[in-house]
């Protein structure tokens, strides 16, 4: 008896097991995808954390190396400063005696220089030239309208010749009452004295040789101003005051001798002049 065959174009109806398998596959595929994504994210996060941790360790290592290097540098600088301080301390300790020796040598040299200068001054003082004015006199009594000439004797009392000897004078006719300190006449005489002693440069002049062992003397002569003698001078009511400045050189050093004479008719010796009580100087 023939058996009935199902038609070939019909799809067999899946059984309960196959249906469940297909449904399980459909349901698990999205879960697996999500799980894979989550796992990949977790792996990447772990790798990032590992990399970050590695970078943190490297950074911490670099920082520690920098800290250690700075510490060693500070220690080195401290030791260097201690060494420099010690060297300076030693130098100061050594410099003290050296400084004292240098100061002592300096003082000794200064003392030697002072002694040498004093010796030079002593030699110069003994052997230098000295122009010493002596007598002064008029060639005639003062008469109004007549020329009046004057002479001064002087000597070189030193041991060396006096070079470049020159002279200049100032003459005044003054009442005795006007010769007091602070008077106009005294101011004029003092100004001439300062001018004499302050001069250091001049040209010309003569040579005056020593006369200390001889009675010989030098004489300088000059004519007083024509208007110096008036009736008061001729009557003895005024003084004739004459300052004379000798300039000379000894050992190439400028020297000066300033002398002051006065004459009053009827009081002074005839033709003779007296030394003033002021403005007698020499250097």
DSSP symbols for 119-163: HHHHHHHHHS--EEEEEEEESS---TTS--EEEEEEEE-SSSPEE
Q: Which residues pair with 56 in a beta bridge?
A: none
Write the pLDDT tens digit of every residue in 167-203.
Answer: 999 999 999 998 888 899 999 999 999 999 998 889 9
C-alpha distance from residue 283 to each of 56, 165, 208 (Å): 97, 14, 17
Confirm if 273 and 263 have CB atoms less than 8 A apart. Answer: yes
What's the first-to-final CA gap in the chain, in angstroms?
184
Task: Using 70 as the pLDDT threshold, list the residues of the chain that sit under it.
Answer: 1-29, 115-116, 118-124
Spatial distance between the Cα atoms of 91 and 107, rounded to a whole number of angstroms: 23
Q: Which residues pair with 221 in a beta bridge?
A: 151
User: Is the domain of 142 the same as that of 118?
Assistant: no
- How far out from the chain centre does Cα 173 lie? 52
Q: What share of the chain is helix, strand, coil (3-state, %, to 5)?
A: 50, 25, 30
Residue 235 has what pLDDT? 93
Question: Which residue, 282, 257, 254, is CA-closest to 164?
Answer: 254
Three-state DSSP state, 8: coil
Confirm if 207 and 165 have CB atoms less than 8 A apart. Answer: yes
Domain boundary among 94, 127, 160: 127
C-alpha distance from residue 269 to each of 138, 151, 242 (Å): 10, 15, 16
User: Is the domain of 147 the same as that of 274?
Assistant: yes
Number of domains in the chain: 2
Domain boundary among 127, 161, 189: 127
User: Is the domain of 123 the same as that of 137?
Assistant: no
Q: Is 5 within the bounds of a domain?
A: no
User: Is the domain of 194 the same as that of 182?
Assistant: yes
User: Is the domain of 173 the same as that of 114?
Assistant: no
User: Is the domain of 143 the same as that of 269?
Assistant: yes
Residue 8 has what pLDDT? 52
Spatial distance between the Cα atoms of 159 and 72, rounded to a whole number of angstroms: 83
User: Is the domain of 121 the same as that of 138?
Assistant: no
Domain boundary among 68, 99, 127: 127
**Residue 57 sits in which domain range?**
16-127
H or E stretch covering 184: helix 184-198
Question: Which tokens belong to 269?
Answer: 């010796």
Confirm if 238 and 179 have CB atoms less than 8 A apart. Answer: no
Residue 23 has what pLDDT? 55
Residue 1 has what pLDDT? 46
Q: Which residues pair with 247 in a beta bridge?
A: 166, 256
Which of left, alpha, beta for 55 (phi over 0: left; psi -120 to 50: alpha)?
alpha
Question: Which tokens belong to 276?
Answer: 């003033």
Residue 149 has what pLDDT? 96
User: Is the domain of 120 the same as that of 167?
Assistant: no
Spatial distance between the Cα atoms of 20 and 8, rounded to a whole number of angstroms: 25
Q: Is 177 within the bounds of a domain?
A: yes
Q: Which residues pair with 242 in a beta bridge?
A: 171, 261
């Amino acid at each position: 008896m023939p058996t009935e065959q199902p038609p070939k174009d019909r799809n067999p109806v899946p059984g309960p097991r196959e249906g469940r398998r297909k449904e399980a596959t459909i349901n698990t595929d999205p879960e697996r995808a999500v799980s894979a994504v989550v796992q990949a994210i977790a792996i990447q996060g772990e790798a990032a954390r590992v990399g970050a941790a590695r970078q943190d360790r490297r950074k911490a290592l670099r920082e520690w190396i920098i800290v250690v290097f700075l510490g060693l540098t500070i220690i080195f600088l401290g030791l260097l400063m201690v060494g420099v301080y010690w060297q300076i301390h030693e130098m100061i300790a050594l410099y003290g005696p050296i400084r004292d020796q240098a100061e002592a040598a300096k003082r000794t040299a200064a003392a030697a220089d002072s002694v040498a200068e004093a010796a030079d001054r002593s030699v110069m003082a003994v052997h230098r030239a000295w122009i010493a004015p002596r007598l002064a006199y008029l060639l005639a009594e003062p008469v109004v309208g007549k020329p009046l000439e004057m002479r001064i004797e002087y000597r070189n009392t030193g041991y060396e010749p006096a070079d470049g000897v020159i002279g200049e004078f100032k003459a005044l006719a003054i009442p005795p009452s006007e010769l007091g300190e602070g008077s106009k006449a005294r101011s004029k005489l003092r100004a001439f004295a300062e001018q004499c002693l302050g001069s250091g440069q001049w040209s010309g002049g003569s040579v005056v040789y020593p006369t200390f062992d001889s009675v010989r003397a030098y004489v300088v002569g000059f004519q007083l101003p024509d208007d110096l003698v008036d009736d008061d001078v001729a009557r003895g009511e005024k003084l004739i005051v004459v300052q004379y400045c000798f300039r000379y050189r000894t050992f190439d050093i400028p020297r000066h001798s300033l002398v002051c004479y006065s004459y009053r008719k009827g009081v002074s010796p005839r033709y003779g002049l007296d030394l003033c009580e002021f403005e007698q100087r020499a250097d």
